């Protein structure tokens, strides 16, 4: 179910629990600013979620309220993971759902990183 990302941050969301180590995940990268882990229901051969460590509901929340250091750290982490996964030469896709119409399901900002095959044109059904 999509979530209302205009609501305050809910620290019981699944990614908050992953950040606190309460739920296991398959981590591919972690630093001061971000955690990257395999999506539990992959939509491509490589499907990684990159999340900021801070409590931000959505791209909107993050872009409005995060510090310069948090934003830089998060964006650099996404790029780092893509390079580390060998995705620069073959190419990859980034996606961040934001809010009801996008069908964002987890109310903690996350960027999907897809790769590992030719993904084709982006289709919105």
| Listed ranges 33-41, 50-58, 72-80, 81-89: which one lies at the site for ligand 5GP (CB under 6 A) | 33-41
Q: What angle do CA 105, 45, 92 make, to 5 degrees?
A: 80
Number of Cβ within a 10 Å radius of residue 26:
10
Residues in the chain: 125
The closest of 76, 30, 86, 72 to 53, measured between CA atoms, is: 30
Spot the catalytic one: 38, 108, 110, 112.
Answer: 110
For residues 45 and 40, give the distance between their C-alpha atoms in angstroms, rounded to a whole number: 12
47 is an active site residue: no
Minimum distance of ligand 5GP from residue 65's CB (angstroms):
19
Nearer to ligand 5GP, 25 or 85 (CB): 25
Minimum distance of ligand 5GP from residue 33's CB (angstroms):
19
Strand blocks (E) in the chain: 27-30, 34-38, 46-52, 93-95, 111-115
Choose, by CB under 6 A, the member of 48, 97, 109, 115 that binds ligand 5GP.
97
**Residue 60 near ligand 5GP by CB under 6 A:** no
**Residue 103 near ligand 5GP by CB under 6 A:** yes
Q: Which residues contact ligand 5GP by CB under 6 A?
A: 14, 23, 25, 37-41, 49, 97, 103-106
Active site residues: 110
């Amino acid at each position: 179910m999509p979530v209302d990302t205009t609501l305050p941050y809910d620290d019981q969301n699944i990614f908050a629990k992953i950040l606190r180590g309460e739920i296991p995940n398959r981590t591919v990268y972690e630093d001061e600013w971000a955690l990257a882990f395999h999506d539990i229901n992959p939509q491509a051969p490589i499907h990684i979620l990159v999340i900021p460590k801070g409590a931000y509901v959505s791209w909107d929340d993050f872009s409005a309220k995060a510090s310069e250091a948090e934003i830089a750290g998060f964006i650099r982490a996404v790029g780092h993971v893509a390079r580390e996964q060998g995705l620069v030469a073959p190419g990859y896709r980034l996606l961040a759902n934001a809010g009801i119409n996008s069908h964002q399901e987890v109310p903690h900002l996350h960027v999907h990183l897809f790769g590992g095959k030719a993904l084709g044109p982006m289709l919105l059904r």
